[in-house]
Chain A
Amino acid sequence: MVILGHGLCSSGLFCLANVRYERVGSRRMVIGRGMLSFIPGVTLWWFLLGVCNIASPPSLNLIGEILLMGSLVGWSWVCIPALALVSSFSACYTLYMYSSSQHGRFYSGVFSSYGGVLREYLVFFLHWLPLNVLILRGDFLLVYYSSL
């Protein structure tokens, strides 16, 4: 479950990173900031996929994380502080990534750029949709693997 969720989510995030790279021409955080002012549509997808990455509901990541953490906590309560820290840190870096790339004044050295195109939005949408819809039949995935 976590593998599926993470596969969709991180693949979508890599697509987003590539879109940003194509627009800005650099991978530096400092140069590509303030993208909200350029292409708000892509910012929306950054946000949606980013919050899926930190297991926000409703996503496959959330249900996977609940099950996984539930089993770990059931195994030993010693895991609780470590799990809490992991979960907080993932929130930290994801929000940092979002805010440093999308928020703020944009870099004035970017001379030519262009908005989002339909193909890219379709790619993001097709990453995001199964991530948030498959949760409705999450037991199919689990039952299949547990019967192996």
Chain B
Amino acid sequence: MLFGVSVCFISMVFLLVFGVSSVLVGIFLLMFDISLFLDWEIFCINGSSVTMTFLFDWISLIFLGFVMFISSIVIMYSEGYMMGDVHIVRFILVVLLFVVSIGLMILSPNLIRILLGWDGLGLVSYCLVIYYQNPRSGGAGMLTALSNRVGDVALLLGICLASSWGRWEFLFYLDLVGRDLVFFSITGLVVLAAFTRSAQMPFSAWLPAAMAAPTPVSALVHSSTLVTAGVYLLIRFSPAVMGGVYQTLLLFISGLTMFMAGLGANFENDLKRIIALSTLSQLGVMLFSLSIGLVGVAYFHLLTHAFFKSLLFLCAGVVIHNVRDFQDVRAMGGLRVYLPVTISCFNVSNLALCGMPFLAGFYSRDLILEVCSMGLINSFSFFLVVFSTGLTVCYSFRLSYVSMFGDYNVGSCSSVRDEVSIITWPMIGLMTMAVLGGALLSWVLFPSPVVVCLPLWLRVWALVVRFMGAVLGLFLSMVSVLGQRSRYLVSYSFRRFSGRM
């Protein structure tokens, strides 16, 4: 409390105002095709100038506005969620530091400036993950910090290599693509950094582990800001990545990540870890679309995904609070009767995630699928993307069936309700954006529709896969609820193997 006003309220209003104005300025810059470049030379040594650079264009400003908007909503929510916590002021301040770091990272075309935000993100996320004082969160924080440190070191080495250029604004050197060994190595290091930050295949263990953080942090950090920093960096670097060995590598790794995460989520029983794995598979989708050349669509999916994924985490937080801090989905059940508002939001965001027509995820996800179906990629990658779409629907429906239908499994003595307005209003606000966001953004970002020519069966194929996924999800939910009796339905070793991924 500061002068009788809570720190949450102040930060929420501040972030909301700045977020909305940043989006509006971003749309203005997009309409008139303007980019602003501010450069402040701090000092110049050995012929290299260390500069503080800001790049204001529509990509950075719209993304920054969305980050601020979501963080304002999450901070409002955490006032209710963290109610009674003695250290709530410290918590909110660390979250604000986090937003500042990602802002610094977004607005920068300069490698040293990117490192400023990038290191800040890693360290602040470490603080947030170890917020609860138990050994489990300590271990998860260590895993997170050290995995991300690999990326930091890669970026640092990239900076060292780039010191032979004399400047660290990589945007000026993009015409060296394919001609310069130094630039080639720097691109490799940046791709490595983006892989660690976006938790792609060899570094994917930290993302589910980092769910030890408080739920508002997961909503902010692990859905829309921290993990998307890697995707954003690759969007900025996309001219260098395209058309080379890195593009192939990216296609391969991201396809496998999305497949692995989708499969793992189907056999996971921790509510937050399921959502974390679904984030992982969506990150795979973003990098996949980036690697087949759809940079704009990857950016679009980044923004829509931020909405429905943070909504999903907020709803999961309410559910976890209400079922006496259980996170195991098998302990839930029948929640649709007791938590109507939360479960409606949960369903909306789940459907948006699956790509239900006219919700947020539909516009971006379907565009990626359709362009893939047009035959730009080989059959292996096509199989991966189609199968992962089915798996997404499968785990979303399994989650819904297990937690919302059936009997109430928690125990007789509990109070399940969602009447705390400070928690439900943020969710309703985000739900509005999860419904409308996709359409609004597609009107802004793609003024002319993308032409897709497909035979009917290929178009219907995506829907068929989703339907099959939904049926399989129902089946799997029965497996997890019935447990012991039906363990032969899916062989134990397979389930164990997939659940551990």
Footprint of B on A, CB under 8 Å? 34, 36-37, 40, 47, 51, 55-58, 62-63, 65-67, 69-70, 72-74, 80, 83-84, 87-88, 91-92, 95-96, 99, 103-105, 135-139, 142
List the one stretch of B7-15, B112-120, B337-345, B415-423 in contact with chain A: B112-120
7 residue pairs bridging A and B, Cβ less than 8 Å apart: A47-B123, A56-B119, A62-B115, A67-B46, A95-B142, A103-B141, A138-B45
In the assembled complex, the CB of B337 is this many whole angstroms from the nearest CB of chain A, namely 39
Apart from A47-B127, A96-B142, A139-B43, what are 13 other A-B pairs with CB-CB below 8 Å? Answer: A51-B119, A51-B123, A57-B112, A67-B45, A84-B153, A88-B153, A91-B145, A91-B149, A91-B153, A103-B130, A105-B134, A137-B43, A142-B45
- A34 is contacted by which of B48, B116, B133, B159 (Cβ under 8 Å)? B133
Instruction: Report if B44 contacts A (CB, 8 A).
Output: yes
Contact with A along B30-54 (1 / 0, CB 8 A): 0000000000001111101010000
Q: Which residues of B contact A96 (CB under 8 A)?
A: 142
Instruction: Report if B442 contacts A (CB, 8 A).
Output: no
- A138 is contacted by which of B50, B90, B126, B134 (Cβ under 8 Å)? B50
In the assembled complex, the CB of B212 is this many whole angstroms from the nearest CB of chain A, namely 12
Expressed in whole angstroms, the Cα–Cα distance for A97 and B134 within the complex equals: 16
In the assembled complex, the CB of B293 is this many whole angstroms from the nearest CB of chain A, namely 31
Expressed in whole angstroms, the Cα–Cα distance for A108 and B159 within the complex equals: 46
Decide if B159 touches A57 in the complex (CB within 8 Å).
no
Specify which of A51, A66, A88, A142 lies most central, judged by the most chain B CB atoms within 10 Å of its CB: A66
Known A87-B153, A92-B146, A138-B50: A56·B123 in contact at CB below 8 Å: yes
Please classify how large the interface on chain B is, using the bins under 10, 10 to 19, 20 to 34, 35 or more. 35 or more
Expressed in whole angstroms, the Cα–Cα distance for A138 and B149 within the complex equals: 25
Expressed in whole angstroms, the Cα–Cα distance for A51 and B50 within the complex equals: 21
Contact with A along B82-114 (1 / 0, CB 8 A): 000001001000000000000000000000100
Decide if A66 touches B44 in the complex (CB within 8 Å).
no
Q: Which residues of A contact B157 (CB under 8 A)?
A: 69, 73, 80, 83-84
Per DSSP, chain A at the interface is helix
Question: Chain A residue with minimal CB distance to B162?
Answer: A70
Decide if B133 touches A36 in the complex (CB within 8 Å).
yes
In the assembled complex, the CB of B17 is this many whole angstroms from the nearest CB of chain A, namely 27
Expressed in whole angstroms, the Cα–Cα distance for A87 and B193 within the complex equals: 14
Expressed in whole angstroms, the Cα–Cα distance for A84 and B157 within the complex equals: 7
Question: Chain A residue with minimal CB distance to B148?
Answer: A91
Instruction: Report if B163 contacts A (CB, 8 A).
Output: yes
Instruction: Report if B468 contacts A (CB, 8 A).
Output: no
Decide if B160 touches A66 in the complex (CB within 8 Å).
yes
Instruction: Report if B161 contacts A (CB, 8 A).
Output: yes
Expressed in whole angstroms, the Cα–Cα distance for A138 and B154 within the complex equals: 24
5 A-B pairs with the lowest CB-CB distances in the bound complex, closest first: A139-B43, A70-B163, A57-B116, A70-B160, A91-B149
Known A36-B133, A70-B160, A103-B130: A57·B119 in contact at CB below 8 Å: yes
Decide if B120 touches A57 in the complex (CB within 8 Å).
yes
Instruction: Report if B150 contacts A (CB, 8 A).
Output: yes
Q: Which residues of A contact B150 (CB under 8 A)?
A: 88
Decide if B138 touches A104 in the complex (CB within 8 Å).
yes
Question: Chain B residue with minimal CB distance to A57?
Answer: B116
Instruction: Report if B164 contacts A (CB, 8 A).
Output: yes
Instruction: Report if B156 contacts A (CB, 8 A).
Output: yes
Decide if A66 touches B156 in the complex (CB within 8 Å).
yes
In the assembled complex, the CB of B148 is this many whole angstroms from the nearest CB of chain A, namely 9
Instruction: Report if B135 contacts A (CB, 8 A).
Output: yes
Specify which of B44, B90, B130 lies most central, judged by the most chain A CB atoms within 10 Å of its CB: B130
Q: Which residues of A contact B152 (CB under 8 A)?
A: 87, 91
Known A51-B123, A99-B142, A104-B133: A65·B149 in contact at CB below 8 Å: no
Decide if A136 touches B138 in the complex (CB within 8 Å).
no
Question: Chain B residue with minimal CB distance to A136?
Answer: B42
Question: Chain B residue with minimal CB distance to A54?
Answer: B149
Expressed in whole angstroms, the Cα–Cα distance for A63 and B150 within the complex equals: 19
Q: Which residues of A contact B161 (CB under 8 A)?
A: 73
Q: Which residues of A contact B153 (CB under 8 A)?
A: 84, 87-88, 91
Question: Chain B residue with minimal CB distance to A138?
Answer: B43
In the assembled complex, the CB of B138 is this many whole angstroms from the nearest CB of chain A, namely 5
Question: Chain B residue with minimal CB distance to A87?
Answer: B153
Decide if B138 touches A103 in the complex (CB within 8 Å).
yes
In the assembled complex, the CB of B117 is this many whole angstroms from the nearest CB of chain A, namely 9
Decide if A88 touches B149 in the complex (CB within 8 Å).
yes
Decide if B133 touches A37 in the complex (CB within 8 Å).
yes
Decide if A87 touches B130 in the complex (CB within 8 Å).
no
Q: Which residues of A contact B127 (CB under 8 A)?
A: 47
Decide if B145 touches A66 in the complex (CB within 8 Å).
no
In the assembled complex, the CB of A65 is this many whole angstroms from the nearest CB of chain B, namely 7
Q: Which residues of A contact B87 (CB under 8 A)?
A: 40
In the assembled complex, the CB of A108 is this many whole angstroms from the nearest CB of chain B, namely 14
The A-contacting residues of B in range 135-187, CB under 8 angstroms, are: 135, 138, 141-142, 145-146, 149-150, 152-154, 156-157, 159-161, 163-164
Q: Which residues of B contact A95 (CB under 8 A)?
A: 126, 142, 145-146
Expressed in whole angstroms, the Cα–Cα distance for A99 and B42 within the complex equals: 34
Question: Chain B residue with minimal CB distance to A40?
Answer: B90
In the assembled complex, the CB of A42 is this many whole angstroms from the nearest CB of chain B, namely 14
Expressed in whole angstroms, the Cα–Cα distance for A97 and B263 within the complex equals: 37
Expressed in whole angstroms, the Cα–Cα distance for A142 and B496 within the complex equals: 58
Q: Which residues of B contact A65 (CB under 8 A)?
A: 156
